[in-house]
């Protein structure tokens, strides 16, 4: 097969770039232990319902006065539903997924993370304003993705 010289140069260039990208990603994953941001804790997605504290999703108060909220995302809902949070609470959210990649976003708070099965995503926020906040999935997760939303009430 005859390849034009310029075509051969372009093909070589393209393959070389692909090889460099693959080597970079592989090195980052294997040598540097690189994982997606904030995903530092792993969990068996098939055993979420029997793995404490995800077996009882919801808000937990800590001894120091701050809160932890454990959330399970699945098609097409969040568990717990309608979380109630005291005004001024500093809440650390721990979120995992039972099935596919979901999003966990509370608009106007800076809370926004991807939720991946097998991993626990962590994000914190201090709720200084009373009201009902929207919680939405912002990763396309299937046919009813647009219905995957819930509320967090701060009072």
Binding-site ranges for ligand CUA (CB under 6 A): 76, 102, 137, 139-141, 145, 148
Q: How far apart are CA 112 and CA 115, in angstroms?
A: 10
In the complex, minimum distance from the CB of residue 34 to ligand CUA, in angstroms, rounded to a whole number: 25
Looking at the Cβ atoms of 109 and 116, the one nearer to ligand CUA is: 116
In the complex, minimum distance from the CB of residue 61 to ligand CUA, in angstroms, rounded to a whole number: 28
In the complex, minimum distance from the CB of residue 75 to ligand CUA, in angstroms, rounded to a whole number: 6
Residues 136/143, Cβ–Cβ less than 8 Å = no
In the complex, minimum distance from the CB of residue 104 to ligand CUA, in angstroms, rounded to a whole number: 9
In the complex, minimum distance from the CB of residue 134 to ligand CUA, in angstroms, rounded to a whole number: 14
Looking at the Cβ atoms of 67 and 145, the one nearer to ligand CUA is: 145
Looking at the Cβ atoms of 141 and 154, the one nearer to ligand CUA is: 141
Looking at the Cβ atoms of 103 and 133, the one nearer to ligand CUA is: 103
Q: How far apart are CA 22 and CA 14, in angstroms?
A: 12
Looking at the Cβ atoms of 48 and 139, the one nearer to ligand CUA is: 139
Q: How far apart are CA 57 and CA 38, in angstroms?
A: 20
């Amino acid at each position: 097969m005859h390849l034009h010289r310029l075509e051969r140069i372009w093909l070589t260039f393209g393959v070389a770039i692909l090889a460099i990208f693959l080597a970079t990603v592989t090195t980052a994953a294997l040598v540097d232990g690189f994982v997606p941001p904030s995903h530092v804790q792993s969990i068996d997605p098939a055993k979420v319902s029997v793995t404490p504290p995800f077996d009882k999703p919801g808000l937990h108060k800590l001894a120091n006065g701050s809160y932890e909220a454990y959330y399970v995302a699945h098609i097409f809902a969040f568990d717990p539903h309608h979380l109630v949070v005291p005004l001024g609470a500093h809440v650390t959210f721990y979120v995992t997924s039972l099935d596919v990649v979901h999003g966990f976003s509370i608009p106007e708070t800076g809370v926004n993370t991807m939720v991946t099965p097998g991993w626990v995503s962590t994000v914190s926020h201090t709720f200084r304003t009373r009201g009902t906040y929207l919680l939405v999935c912002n990763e396309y997760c299937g046919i009813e993705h647009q219905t995957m939303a819930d509320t967090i009430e701060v009072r």
